[in-house]
Amino acid sequence: MSTTSLSLSLFYKRKFTLRFPVSLLALERYSHVAGDLHTEDEALTAIADVLTTTCGVEKPQPEDVEYFVSRLEEIRLEMEAESSGGAAASSLKTFGSSYADYLRTIPLDRIIMQMANYDFARAKVLYCVLDRSDVMLMVSEHIKGRMESGLLSLEACMYGFGGSYESNRASNVVTHDLKTDAGKQALKAFGF
């Protein structure tokens, strides 16, 4: 079996494929200084500062700068692909779409704090030490887990009160559209 066909764990990648981790803090720091850069020398100085203060590189070499710039380009392309590949917006609001919209409004540092159960030391490792790609993978999995948990809670309530999805509803089940007068009357008959 060739090693190229294996999926690399984030632990393997961190140890053997990353020159050094480019943390979210490093990217944030770079974004703050990048706007004021006018010359290539200023850019190199700023990158060297980011590497020494946030990436653990004591004496940045040209290869380190090249690596950092290549990672910036990878991240830029990834973000462009994510923004252009989004699903078409639907006018229909559902529990899932509303919850997903809510999760998208939470700033990344707050999501990381939630992932770390508000333990600042653990959150600091995620934001300041680990590589951005690893943290974004963990954030994505965390959000998927929250979505599944929310959906499970909704289904527990729905099925607990005799509800079902239309696709697995028995043919003899009577449903009431609560937007109609007949549905409102049926709701009143149940005591609501």
Question: Could you read off the pLDDT of 30-74 as tens digits, one per residue?
Answer: 999 888 888 888 989 999 999 999 999 999 999 999 999 999 999
**Mean pLDDT, to the nearest integer, of 132-153?**
89
- The overall average pLDDT reported for the chain is 83
Give the per-residue pLDDT at 1: 44
Confidence of residue 92 (pLDDT cuts 50, 70, 90): low
Residue 168 tokens, joined: 């697995």
Count of residues in the chain: 192
Q: How far apart, in Å, are the Cα atoms of 98 and each of 14, 112, 156, 185, 192?
A: 35, 21, 18, 28, 26
